[in-house]
Chain A
Amino acid sequence: DAKTTQPTSMDCAEGRAANLPCNHSTISGNEYVYWYRQIHSQGPQYIIHGLKNNETNEMASLIITEDRKSSTLILPHATLRDTAVYYCIAHYNQGGKLIFGQGTELSVKP
């Protein structure tokens, strides 16, 4: 699995969009970009994943650059409950081990 790089921490004002970047410059053509988050002491929670096209679901949007070397997770209207560690992972969509990096600690402030 390709290595990903994320900022260690970010702040966001409540109600504003939170844009979390991720670099995955060595990603291969068959690797998907997955995003998870972990709220303190809980199990990680799946958010979204994509291969080439931008994706949107009820939680977030995922924007992947055309060269697929980076992506951005967008939480459109961040709330205090979105405060968590967010993990970006490049992974083959065929099972196998899933390796987590250090993630980005997002703090949503009133």
Chain B
Amino acid sequence: DAGITQSPRHKVTETGTPVTLRCHQTENHRYMYWYRQDPGHGLRLIHYSYGVKDTDKGEVSDGYSVSRSKTEDFLLTLESATSSQTSVYFCAISDQGTGNTIYFGEGSWLTVV
């Protein structure tokens, strides 16, 4: 298994509160991604990073921000959580050295009540 750790794995929070999900990798991969998955929508890209301090938006970036101050950590922040952000969040990593194969973490289940 790729060295990807997501935390927390499960969280329940209230509407309007800030939430930060952490993705930590031990593979020294250049690229890191955050996806969300909802019933009927498959996997949708939120943000991705192509290096330290280099990030870009994905398909569904509204309401989310990210930061990458170290190669190994990619943080996803919901500044003010809403019920529509209840979802499963997956972190992923890739690197050209491995043919750009993307490896996924096990997911973080977030419920906003």
Q: Is B96 an interface residue (CB 8 A)?
A: yes
A36 to B99, CA, bound (A): 14
Contact indicator B42/A93 (Cβ below 8 Å): no
State whether A44 and B43 are in contact (beta carbons under 8 Å apart), knowing that A95-B30, A99-B59 are contacts in the complex.
Answer: yes
Chain A residues with CB below 8 A from B30, complex form? 95
State which residues 38-72 of B face A: CB under 8 Å.
Answer: 42-45, 48, 50, 56, 58-59
Q: Is B101 an interface residue (CB 8 A)?
A: yes
Contact indicator B107/A98 (Cβ below 8 Å): no
Contact indicator A43/B90 (Cβ below 8 Å): yes
* Stretch from A16-24, A65-73, A76-84, A100-108 at the B interface: A100-108
State which residues 83-113 of B face A: CB under 8 Å.
Answer: 88, 90, 92, 94-96, 99-107
- Indicate with 1 or 0, residue by residue over A5-17, a CB within 8 angstroms of chain B CB atoms: 0000000000000
Chain A residues with CB below 8 A from B44, complex form? 100
Chain A residues with CB below 8 A from B35, complex form? 100
Contact indicator B100/A42 (Cβ below 8 Å): no
Q: List 18 A-B contacts (CB under 8 A).
A: A34-B102, A42-B107, A43-B92, A43-B104, A44-B90, A44-B102, A44-B104, A49-B99, A91-B100, A92-B100, A93-B96, A94-B96, A95-B50, A97-B58, A100-B44, A100-B45, A101-B42, A102-B42
